[in-house]
Amino acid sequence: MSDVLEIHDLTVAYDKKPVLWNVDFDIPGGKMVGIIGPNGAGKSTLIKSIMGLIEPDGGHVKIFDKDVEEVRDRIAYVPQRETVDWDFPASVMDVALMGLYNNKRWFQRYTKADKKIAEECLDKVGMLSFAKRQISQLSGGQQQRVFLARALARNADFYLMDEPFAGVDASTETSILQLLESMRDDGKTLLIVHHDLQTANRYFDWFVLLNRRLIACGPREEVFTEEKIQETYGARISLIEELSQQLGQKKLPTREY
């Protein structure tokens, strides 16, 4: 299968401070890919840049060989839980239904068939019995499952998930994992930020090791090695020092308006 995602020389900065530096890798289709790296490594920034939510300072992203705007209806995104405003007034069912529409069609009415799909997706994550509950009145793990249902309802080809297992209990984690594996077996591509190194080896068949720069990307056997993981987590401080040194020498590429 050809590459689903191509990232070329991606540099992203907040207030001129680089968070991602010259990140360059490709992801083939039909894989369950784990993005691994310490806190602050730029994992969420990477996912948001791929989604086109952050404008890069350099480089480019191609999904299915196209710009993200052209393929948005083939992509689903589950944001990191802490970054979502959970106080907005919407029921569990409303949130699942949101998956069925692009924003521009958001005002349109839902059909019976739409509701059935949303129900099926809520059922898959074990949240159907909460359909009428306000999203703000759920526990953290329950909210996470509803956002997963929203992503499922999109019936996308490429799923980006930022720590979907954070805060869910062990049995939910197992059932979500099975769901994701069956999606992968159907030919979908999943790019998943994951924190737990113990389970990562079991969950993913492809890895992106990230710490501001790309440490490695490739199949598990080649990339998920002690040496490379050490490099990803252990070299953190020296890496940041090196980065600021580079910054002193080289001007950050700026955008042209």
Ligand X SMILES: Nc1ncnc2c1ncn2[C@@H]1O[C@H](COP(=O)(O)OP(=O)(O)OP(=O)(O)O)[C@@H](O)[C@H]1O
Task: Please state the closest distance from residue 255 (CB atom) to Mg ion, in A.
Answer: 24
Phi, psi of 208 (to 5 degrees): -120, 115
Contact residues for ligand X, defined by CB under 6 A: 14, 19, 37, 39-45, 80
* Positive/negative CA dihedral, 40, 42, 43, 45: positive
Which residue, 153 or 168, is less far from ligand X as judged by CB?
A: 168
49 binds Mg ion (CB under 5 A): no
CB of 80 to Mg ion, least distance (A): 5
List binders of Mg ion among 66-105 (CB under 5 A). 80
Rounded CA gap, 65 and 127, in Å? 35
Two structure tokens written together for 120: 């099926």
Closest alpha carbon to 166 in 144, 192, 147: 144
By residue count, the chain amounts to 257
Cα gap 213→41, rounded to integer Å:
8
Which of ligand X, Mg ion, none binds 14 (CB below 5-8 Å, type-dependent)?
A: ligand X
In whole angstroms, how close is the CB of 59 to Mg ion at the nearest point? 20
Q: Which of 44, 49, 144, 232 binds Mg ion (CB under 5 A)?
A: 44
Which residue number, 19 or 138, has a Cβ lying nearer to ligand X? 19
What is the smallest separation between the CB atom of 70 and ligand X, expressed in angstroms? 25
Q: Quick check: 91 and 132 in contact, CB under 8 A?
A: yes
Partner in contact with 42, chosen from ligand X, Mg ion, none, beta carbon below 5 to 8 Å by kind: ligand X
Looking at the Cβ atoms of 127 and 193, the one nearer to Mg ion is 193
Question: Helix 170-185 crosses helix 140-153 at what angle (to 10 degrees)?
Answer: 10
